[in-house]
Amino acid sequence: MSVLENMKPEIVWKQFDEIRKIPRCSKHEEKIRNYLLDFAKTHNLESKTDDVGNVVIKKPAAAGMEKQPIVVLQSHMDMVCEKNSDVDFDFATDAIELDVNDDVLTAKGTTLGADDGIGVATSLAILEDESLKLGPIEALFTVDEETGLTGAFALGSDMLEGRVLLNLDSEDWGVITVGCAGGGNSDITLPVKRKKASAEMKWMKISISGLRGGHSGVDVHEQRANAVKLASRILWRIVNDFSIAVSTIHGGDKHNAIPREAYAIIGVSANDQSKIRDLINHLSEEIYEEFKPIDPKCTVEISEENPREQTLDDASQKTLINLLHALPHGVLKMNYDIKGLVNTSTNLAKIRIEDDAVHIQLSSRSSIMSELDDLRNRIAAMVQLAGGTVEEDEPYPGWKPNLESKVLKIAKKIYADKYGKEPVIEAIHAGLECGIIGEKFKGMDAISIGPTVKYPHSPEEQVHISTVEKFYDFVVDIMKAV
């Protein structure tokens, strides 16, 4: 029996229960796409796809509602696939395992996929419910939102007719989002050389774990610890006091997730081994005290390792550790006009060392494109000084707020009438597809709404169950009033 049994609205949770069983990591949406197309066929609804795999399902207006404007319900198929290292789980084959604690739904050691599985389930529920008396609907399901909004970028020009867009990818009930930041990635390649490791060395692994991680946009203002930055901090202190040999540094995974785990494997002399352990333990205590209020489970562990045949040579090691320690992470500038809104930030997302090169990725965001450009230029300048190269993807645009939006006025009135208070109207420091879709389809009037989803992009991800029914009713009420 599913833990979702008897949750309200049943039609939404039924769909979410099906969706959580379907593998749908970013860039691997084949199975969820097939599910959507089969759904359309089963319910005698028109559907179409474009060259990149975005799907639109159309539902005609109910009798008497034919003159209503077409409403576009928009969500994304993919999810961020993150799990704790001690969890045995394969995102390519396994169904998400659910857990309920009072009003909170979570997954067991993995991301939940409520981002944006709840949005997808809500769209499907509205398409399925024949009792709803609504105008024409276009339900748009995009691919690959989480790795750079590439599905929205490549959305076919003939996919949509509607000009009223309800994006179902927000994560705070009672908030109507009307704007978002733009962003782009910086992929660094730093050439390195190797040397033969000394047979006299003792080997140790420095592991950072237990961090909360989270979404690199919506959670960055909390200033949670970044495991890659902590690893670089520890290594920088060690190499300034001792002669060591770095074999590898590994950390992070997704560009839009704050790294929760990282490790470094180093060789040290037998004479320095105990002193280096003492230094690491001292640094661990310092780090814990600094981050205890926001990351109370932060852990730095030392373990013995088998000998390595090769390490970075001295020059490569020095350059890498200096660069990694210098690269920015976190909030860089707050918005001058909107209190509490991050304007510009970057996420030092991951590092991998191969035979002759180190690969580092940063994901940067800003509400002002000139600031985003300057931040990426600063990153490139640091990398050039280190002798590396940077490849930058095309930045995605932000979404400029339109406080005169007709659909916004409708949504505000419905919320105020129903709950006796005004909703919060805000812009967010994260990427939403509204700006891109609005550029492609001129005249699009859009807002973004959602239930309460906390800690997306991390195994702490949770959805507050009671807000899902309110969200569903809110979407339906807006569609009736448009």
- The residue among 278, 300, 303 whose CA lies nearest residue 287 is 300
What 3-state DSSP class applies to 34? helix
DSSP string across 213-277 = --BTTTTGGG----HHHHHHHHHHHHHTTS-EEEEEEEE---TTB----EEEEEEE-TTTHHHHH
Q: Which residues of 23-53 are buried (b: 16+ CB within 10 A; e: fewer)?
A: bbbbebbeebbebbeebbeeeebebebbebb
Question: CB neighbours of 16 closer than 8 A, spacing ≥ 6?
Answer: 4, 114, 117, 118, 121
Query: Is-contact 7 98, C-beta < 8 A?
Result: no
Amino acid at 12: V
Structure tokens that stand for 193 in this block: 């050389």
Between strands 424-428 and 175-180, the pairing is: parallel
Q: Phi/psi at 137 (nearest 5 deg)?
A: -125, 140
Q: Which of 145, 146, 261, 433 is catalytic?
A: 145
Structure tokens that stand for 96 in this block: 């998400």
DSSP at 52: T
Per-residue three-class SS string for 350-376: EEEECCCEEEEEEEEEECCHHHHHHHH
Beta strand extents in 123-174 (DSSP E only): 137-142, 164-167
Query: Is-contact 255 245, C-beta < 8 A?
Result: no
Structure tokens that stand for 108 in this block: 């067991």
Q: Which of 78, 219, 261, 433 is catalytic?
A: 78
Indicate if 78 belongs to the active site.
Answer: yes
Other residues' Cβ atoms within 10 Å of the Cβ of residue 475 = 22
Indicate if 86 belongs to the active site.
Answer: no
Structure tokens that stand for 246 in this block: 């770095």
Query: Is-contact 161 349, C-beta < 8 A?
Result: no
> What contacts 24+ positions apart, CB below 8 Å, involve 18-22?
19/113, 19/117, 19/120, 19/121, 20/95, 20/96, 20/98, 20/112, 20/113, 20/117, 21/95, 21/96, 22/95
Which residues are known to be catalytic? Answer: 78, 145
